[in-house]
């Protein structure tokens, strides 16, 4: 059975793209066949993260528009990262016009796109024997993100400890995830290191997150300077398998695919 997982947030910059790309790499290294797709059409980042400009034939935008097949969209990065499982990535178009165009699409187009998102599971399984599909989404309730969340089997909402992020995440969970009865996990990212110092601080941190959500908290990950220093163009988890960030995401990845 293919599993589709969407990684979403209420506000921007919480770490979705970093988490998506690293979880995908971790699962592919564990031997799973992975398809990671950029569904953040307003501000795509996977093309930069994977430095893949010259390898792209068609964009995810073209697939949703009915103008391309998934076999021409997915770029195979298995050899580059030497993962045991297939590591396929679908990129969103970074051209300004493409970003504007998708923002202008009406409800009718979005409904057709939703059908294509739903069909992706079967198609990717048939074409590439994919085990897990991961969707990196735009923050908030853009149509494309709603389509991704609605079509997935599991959703992860990523929030920082910023009150605006936490309250935004609570609202998205109530207004979008709960009506659709989505299996949802909360992932807190970029918690400041002092929040983890001492048992009292740690339990305050955990209580502060848990009391806001009825959904399970899958991880609380600190903000690591090493990640900022490593630059975003590397796959941190593959470069640093012994780093606590990699351990945390490995546990998250295992739980998500289970």
CB atoms within 10 A of CB 133: 27
Question: Which of ligand ATP, Mg ion, none does residue 14 bind to, with CB < 5 to 8 Å depending on kind?
Answer: ligand ATP
Stretch that binds ligand ATP, among 38-46, 66-74, 197-205, 207-215 (CB under 6 A): 38-46
Which residue, 209, 218, 202, is CA-closest to 163? 209
Q: Which of 2, 4, 5, 18 binds ligand ATP (CB under 6 A)?
A: 18
Based on the shown chain and the rule CB under 6 A, indicate whether residue 44 belongs to the binding site for ligand ATP: no
Based on the shown chain and the rule CB under 6 A, indicate whether residue 232 belongs to the binding site for ligand ATP: yes
CA distances from 104 to 48, 98, 141 (A): 24, 10, 15
CB atoms within 10 A of CB 27: 26
Calculate ∠ Cα 80-59-3, nearest 5°.
Answer: 70
Give me the 45-64 binding string for Mg ion, x by CB under 5 A, dash otherwise.
Answer: x-------------------
Which residue, 209, 130, 201, is CA-closest to 166? 209
Q: Shortest Cβ distance from residue 69 to ligand ATP (Å)?
A: 27
State which of positions 164-223 bind ligand ATP (CB under 6 A).
Answer: 189-190, 221, 223
CA distances from 189 to 19, 157, 253 (A): 9, 10, 15
Stretch that binds Mg ion, among 44-52, 87-95, 144-152, 184-192 (CB under 5 A): 44-52
Q: Which of 38, 40, 165, 257 binds ligand ATP (CB under 6 A)?
A: 40
Based on the shown chain and the rule CB under 5 A, indicate whether residue 145 belongs to the binding site for Mg ion: no
Based on the shown chain and the rule CB under 5 A, indicate whether residue 17 belongs to the binding site for Mg ion: yes
Contact status, residue 156 vs residue 8, Cβ threshold 8 Å: yes
Q: Point out which residues bind Mg ion (CB under 5 A).
A: 16-17, 45
């Amino acid at each position: 059975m293919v599993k589709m997982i969407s990684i979403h947030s209420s506000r921007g910059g919480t770490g979705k793209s970093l988490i998506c790309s690293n979880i995908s790499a971790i699962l592919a290294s564990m031997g799973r066949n992975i398809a990671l797709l950029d569904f953040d059409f307003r501000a795509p980042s996977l093309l930069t993260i994977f430095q893949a400009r010259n390898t792209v034939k068609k964009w995810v935008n073209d697939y949703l528009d009915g103008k391309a097949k998934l076999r021409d969209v997915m770029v195979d990065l298995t050899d580059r990262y030497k993962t045991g499982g297939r590591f396929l990535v679908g990129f969103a178009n970074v051209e300004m016009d493409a970003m504007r165009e998708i923002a202008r699409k009406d409800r009718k187009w979005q409904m057709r796109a939703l059908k294509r998102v739903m069909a992706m599971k079967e198609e990717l399984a048939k074409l590439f024997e994919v085990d897990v599909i991961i969707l990196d989404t735009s923050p908030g309730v853009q149509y494309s993100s709603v389509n991704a969340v609605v079509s997935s089997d599991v959703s992860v909402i990523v929030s920082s400890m910023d009150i605006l992020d936490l309250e935004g995440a609570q609202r998205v969970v109530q207004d979008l995830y709960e009506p659709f009865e989505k299996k949802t996990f909360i992932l807190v990212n970029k918690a400041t290191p002092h929040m983890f110092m001492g048992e009292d601080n740690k339990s305050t941190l955990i209580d502060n997150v848990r009391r806001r959500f009825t959904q399970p908290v899958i991880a609380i990950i600190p903000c690591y300077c090493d990640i900022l220093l490593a630059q975003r163009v590397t796959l941190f988890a593959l470069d640093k398998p012994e780093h606590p960030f990699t351990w945390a995401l490995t546990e998250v990845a295992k739980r998500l695919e289970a």
